[in-house]
């Protein structure tokens, strides 16, 4: 009888524990976006070390390329409803050292520490980092969005989203 109670207790304990393993891609915010990476300015995302940002504002896509140039692209009503850009927008590009061999990576433009839609990260195109002016956090875009802890502060990694490519169409979706 005692053995049965112990086994039952162990079984209940094992099934009640939640898995807390690391997930490579975020599902906290919904994302759906696609673009043709043979068309400017999206064609820069396949070059190693180049990242661009994409966000929506007043029926337009605001795209900032790796050289800091802003582009505004009108959205159709369908695309305005269909494109979901996570918390604050997207950072899209190919790391200098592409460790996963997949190619283009996508992160959220929102700060994972502040976790607010109005707090966007600033991209440093020379050292391929993202930083937040509010919480002073900094992240490495070449290294899976890992935090750069200059002051020893514990930070969460950037929200990273899965990407797929079919021909010249890049899709970011979770």
Per the domain annotation, does 31 fall within a domain? yes
Helix, strand and coil percent figures for the chain, each rounded to 5 = 15, 35, 50
DSSP E strand boundaries for 109-162: 122-124, 129-131, 138-140, 146-147, 160-161
Residue, of 66 and 77, whose pLDDT is higher: 77
Per the domain annotation, does 15 fall within a domain? no
Per the domain annotation, does 19 fall within a domain? no
Per the domain annotation, does 163 fall within a domain? yes
Evaluate whether 67 touches 126 at the Cβ level (below 8 Å).
Answer: no
pLDDT one-digit tens code per residue, 22-51: 467 888 999 999 999 999 999 989 888 899
Task: State how many domains the chain has.
Answer: 1
Residue 68 reports pLDDT greater than 60: yes
Q: Which of 66-75, 135-144, 150-159 has the lowest mean pLDDT?
A: 150-159
Residue, of 30 and 13, whose pLDDT is higher: 30
Q: Give whole-number Cα distances, 129 to 33, 38, 121, in Å.
A: 22, 25, 9
Mean pLDDT, the chain, rounded, equals 85
State which residues form the domain around 98: 25-173
Residue 150 reports pLDDT greater than 90: no
Per the domain annotation, does 131 fall within a domain? yes
Per the domain annotation, does 103 fall within a domain? yes
Per the domain annotation, does 10 fall within a domain? no
Evaluate whether 94 touches 50 at the Cβ level (below 8 Å).
Answer: yes
Per the domain annotation, does 81 fall within a domain? yes
CATH number for the domain spanning 148: value is 2.102.10.10
pLDDT in the model for residue 131: 94
């Amino acid at each position: 009888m005692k053995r049965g109670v112990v086994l039952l207790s162990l079984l209940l304990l094992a099934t009640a524990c939640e898995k807390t393993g690391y997930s490579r891609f975020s599902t906290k915010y919904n994302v759906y976006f696609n673009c043709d990476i043979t068309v400017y300015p999206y064609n820069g995302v396949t070059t190693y070390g180049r990242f661009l940002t994409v966000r929506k504002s007043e029926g337009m896509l605001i795209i900032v390329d790796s050289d800091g140039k802003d582009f505004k692209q009108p959205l159709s009503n369908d695309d305005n409803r269909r494109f979901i850009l996570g918390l604050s927008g997207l950072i899209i590009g190919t790391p200098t050292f592409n460790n996963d061999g997949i190619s283009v990576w996508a992160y959220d433009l929102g700060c994972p520490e502040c976790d607010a839609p109005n707090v966007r990260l600033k991209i440093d195109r020379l050292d391929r980092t993202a930083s937040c002016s509010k919480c002073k956090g900094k992240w490495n875009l070449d290294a899976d969005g890992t935090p750069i802890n200059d002051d020893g502060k514990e930070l969460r990694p950037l929200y990273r989203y899965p990407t797929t490519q079919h021909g010249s169409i890049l899709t970011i979706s979770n």
